[in-house]
Amino acid sequence: MKTRNNKAWFLVLPVILTVSFTAILPLMTVANYAVQDIFSPTDRLFIGMDWFYNITNDPLIFNAFKRSFSFSIQVLLIQIPLGIAIARIMPKSGWKASAALVMVAIPLIIPWNVIGTTWQIFARPDIGLGGYLINKFIDFNYTSDPLDGWILILLVDVWHWTPLVILLVYAGLRSIPPAYYQAAAIDGASQVAVFRFVELPKLKRVLMIAILLRFMDSFMIYTEPFVITGGGPGEATTFLSILLSNIAVGQFDIGRAGAFSLIYFLFIQILSFLFFTVLTLQERAEVTKAK
Amino acid sequence: MTSTTTTKGVLSPRKKKASLPWSGLMFWIIIAIWMIPVAWLVLMSIRPSADILAGLEIIPSRITFDGYITFLSKDIWYGAYLNSLTYSTLNTVMSVTVALPAAYAFSRFSFAGDKHLFFWLLTNRMAPAAVFLLPFFNMYKAVGLFDTNLGVAIAHMLFNVPLAVWILEGFISGIPREVDETAAIDGYSLPRFFIKIFLPMIRSGIGVTAFFCFMFSWVELLIARTITSTEAKPISAAMTRTVTSGGLDWTLLSTAGVMTILPGILAIWFVRKYIAKGFALGRV
């Protein structure tokens, strides 16, 4: 059991001070913007909840929300199974395992705008290897066809972030004692049965973390579409963060951006809370099972 | 695409023994495909810009190192690179220092509001950077942190402190509580125990946490670009600003790209044994 000790607050204090400055103060500022119509630093008007009403009825924002949400769902549907599949065939020991780990992790350590720049050229039909090869089979032009633009961003995200899922699942698989596999082999269990009854139960926790991180991060995707498609063609890849930063920094429409930010943040809070509840319930269930 | 077919291939039932060498080979084929865009970037960095735009070439007909020479001799490039290294390092040191005692507290003690506090910290890791653009811009201007490396380092603590607490808490919980109790009986005070005994025991955890803080600060663009202009301009911003200012030098841009991958590869090599555990937030 943990020791009950309220003095532990002193140990947490530095974190609280830091986060006050990096998160609480900015959020209060945003809330302040959201209830005013600001024409200039000296000329401002308190307008209460008008911006919120304006935001929730704005088709531009609603469409961006739908886009971001379906993007995140597609990201999960592709990356989770693909990550599991690749992690299962990763070498498990020796120098091969080390080499595999380093190579799998490479996409994760490339600055996001560099990933954008690379794919921007790589996917071009005329001078990019990827775009050139695909155009041998089907017409693919991400600068003119909205669907192609969407597919490219999805593909880039799969390339960029599936390694995270692979590494998480790999860590989970490594924690399974070999005896479990031996028992399964004696029973003559098929690969599917081994995955379903030996691996999957042990992977629950890492998969929850993977789903949480992948959903949240893809839901706030900004840099890659910003660099590759600039939110286009048309508005095909104008996700929430892109729209928000356009309103905030591009148009400097402070009040509207503030209200938008608050709603966006609140939605993330609620989702995190749901994920977090499931995660703690799962941990508690495991602890009771262990006893 | 290749990816979906492999998923089916691996999960479908097949004969047990025959699968092993086949799946090993499959893995390396997938990795090879995965690395093609990176190889493409390296290839572009040694081709003249005119050639890149002229057409597709697998084997370059002309090779140039102009990109690397310009990168290492023009201070807008290497200066921006140094800026990024500086704030990422600063951020790593500050994030880990602040997070260590908190992670210890969350792992060992229960105190009023601990669960709520832990959850609330995590939500900051999930918060979209775009939400913070305006207030960061105005606040950092007001307190004189705008366009400084320290400013970017502090701003990145927004997502790195929660992450560091989360990972460290996982690693610390892996150390049996008896260690703390024995030290207390031996007469160690908490700070002395923490520095002399505990820190060395969780050094792999600290290493991994440092790696993650550095990486997430290094790869971030949106916040870093918003709260800097010229003095503390990060390398990623130098790259996007080149894109918008007309006449693109693709060779130079690719060179900068290759250069930004190097610190990461170096860092992974040191933490490769623990990286998977780190990605699982110290919880496997």
Contact call for B52 and A171, based on CB within 8 A: no
Min distance B199 CA to chain A CA atoms (Å): 15
Our count of domains for chain B comes to: 2
Residue B71: CB atoms within 10 A of its CB come to 22
Our count of domains for chain A comes to: 1
- Contact at 8 Å (CB) between B94 and B153? yes
Do B40 and B147 sit in the same domain of this protein? no
- Contact at 8 Å (CB) between B239 and A227? no
Do B112 and B252 sit in the same domain of this protein? yes
Respond yes or no on whether ipTM tops 0.85.
no
Structure tokens at B148: 């400084």
Residue-wise pLDDT tens digits, B132-152: 888 888 888 888 889 899 999
Contact call for A15 and B261, based on CB within 8 A: no
Min distance A134 CA to chain B CA atoms (Å): 10
Nearest to A92 by CA among A170, A144, A27, A34: A170
Rounded to an integer, what distance in angstroms lies between the CA atom of residue B142 and that of residue B140?
A: 5
Residue matched to tokens 């550095």: B214
Chain B residue closest in CA terms to A131: B56
Residue matched to tokens 């309220």: A6
B23: Cβ contacts below 8 Å, ≥ 6 apart: A88, A89, B10
Nearest to A85 among B11, B124, B130 (CB): B11
- Contact at 8 Å (CB) between A29 and A262? no
Q: Is B54 inside any structural domain?
A: no
Please give the single-letter amino acid code of residue B88. S
Contact call for A29 and B38, based on CB within 8 A: no
Do B10 and B92 sit in the same domain of this protein? no
Residue-wise pLDDT tens digits, B231-251: 888 888 888 766 544 467 888
Residue A216: CB atoms within 10 A of its CB come to 20
Band of residue A47 on the pLDDT scale cut at 50, 70, 90 = confident
DSSP B197-209: IIHHHTHHHHHHH
Chain B residue numbers touching A171 (CB-CB < 8 A): 276-277, 279-280, 284
Q: Is A41 inside any structural domain?
A: no
Rounded to an integer, what distance in angstroms lies between the CA atom of residue B48 and that of residue A127?
A: 13
Map residue B246 onto helix, strand or coil. Answer: coil
* Residue B130 DSSP code: G
With an 8 Å Cβ cutoff, is A183 touching chain B?
Answer: no
Do B34 and B75 sit in the same domain of this protein? no
Rounded to an integer, what distance in angstroms lies between the CA atom of residue A95 and that of residue A98?
A: 5
Do B77 and B38 sit in the same domain of this protein? no
Backbone angles phi, psi at B268, to 5 degrees: -60, -40
Along the 284 residues of chain B, how does pLDDT read in single tens digits? Answer: 344 444 444 444 444 444 556 778 899 999 999 999 999 999 989 988 888 888 787 888 888 888 898 888 888 888 899 999 999 999 999 999 999 999 999 988 888 888 888 888 888 888 888 888 888 888 888 888 898 999 999 999 999 999 899 889 888 888 888 888 888 888 888 888 888 888 888 888 898 899 889 999 999 888 998 888 888 888 888 887 665 444 678 888 899 999 999 998 888 887 877 776 776 666 65
Contact call for B3 and A82, based on CB within 8 A: yes
Do B28 and B127 sit in the same domain of this protein? no
Q: What is the pTM assigned to this prediction?
A: 0.85
Rounded to an integer, what distance in angstroms lies between the CA atom of residue B118 and that of residue B103?
A: 10
Name residues 39-68 of chain A within 8 A of B (Cβ).
none
Contact call for A110 and B3, based on CB within 8 A: no
B81: Cβ contacts below 8 Å, ≥ 6 apart: B71, B235, B256, B259, B260
Nearest to B133 among A195, A223, A245 (CB): A245
Q: Is A212 inside any structural domain?
A: yes
Instruction: Output the domain CATH number for residue B172.
Output: 1.10.3720.10
Q: Residues of B141-163 as b/e, b for ≥16 C-beta within 10 angstroms?
A: eeeebbbbbebbbbbbbbbbbbb
DSSP A32-70: HHHTEEEEETTEEEE-TTHHHHHHHT-HHHHHHHHHHHH
Do B185 and B257 sit in the same domain of this protein? yes
Backbone angles phi, psi at A123, to 5 degrees: -95, 0
Q: What is the domain extent for residue A258?
A: 53-290
With an 8 Å Cβ cutoff, is B204 touching chain A?
Answer: no
Nearest to A89 among B23, B36, B279 (CB): B23
Do B199 and B239 sit in the same domain of this protein? yes
Chain B residue numbers touching A265 (CB-CB < 8 A): 127-128, 131
Do B95 and B37 sit in the same domain of this protein? no
Residue-wise pLDDT tens digits, B79-98: 899 999 999 999 999 999 99
B22: Cβ contacts below 8 Å, ≥ 6 apart: none
Q: Is A167 inside any structural domain?
A: yes
My answer on whether omega of the bond before A233 falls inside 30° of 0, hence cis, is yes
Please give the single-letter amino acid code of residue A80. I
Q: What is the domain extent for residue B205?
A: 70-279
Give A167's Cβ-side CA count (13 Å radius): 30
Rounded to an integer, what distance in angstroms lies between the CA atom of residue A95 and that of residue A102?
A: 11
Band of residue A291 on the pLDDT scale cut at 50, 70, 90 = low
Min distance A276 CA to chain B CA atoms (Å): 7
pLDDT at B6: 42
Angle at which helices A112-122 and A146-174 cross, to 10°: 130
Chain B residue closest in CA terms to A252: B134
Nearest to B104 among A11, A16, A190 (CB): A11
Band of residue A155 on the pLDDT scale cut at 50, 70, 90 = very high
Do B79 and B24 sit in the same domain of this protein? no
Candidates A6, A9, A10, A18, partner chain B, best to mutate (most B CBs within 10 A): A18
Name residues 78-137 of chain A within 8 A of B (Cβ).
78, 81-82, 85-86, 88-91, 98, 100-114, 117-119, 121-122, 126-130, 132
Residue-wise pLDDT tens digits, A4-22: 887 788 888 999 899 888 8
Angle at which helices B19-45 and A94-105 cross, to 10°: 50
- Contact at 8 Å (CB) between B151 and B145? yes
Q: Is B58 inside any structural domain?
A: no
Do B34 and B76 sit in the same domain of this protein? no
Helix (H) / strand (E) containing A10:
helix A8-19
Helices (H), B111-177: 114-126, 133-142, 149-173
Instruction: Output the domain CATH number for residue A285.
Output: 1.10.3720.10
Do B91 and B161 sit in the same domain of this protein? yes
With an 8 Å Cβ cutoff, is B13 touching chain A?
Answer: yes
Q: Is B26 inside any structural domain?
A: yes
Q: Is B64 inside any structural domain?
A: no
Rounded to an integer, what distance in angstroms lies between the CA atom of residue A209 and that of residue B166?
A: 12
Chain B residue numbers touching A111 (CB-CB < 8 A): 218-221, 235-236, 257, 260
A222: Cβ contacts below 8 Å, ≥ 6 apart: A239, A241, A242, A245, B128, B129, B130, B221, B222
DSSP A100-111: HHHHHHGGGGS-
Chain B residue numbers touching A127 (CB-CB < 8 A): 52-56
Name residues 86-145 of chain B within 8 A of A (Cβ).
94, 97-99, 101-102, 104-106, 108-112, 114-115, 117, 119, 121-139
Nearest to A111 among B31, B221, B283 (CB): B221
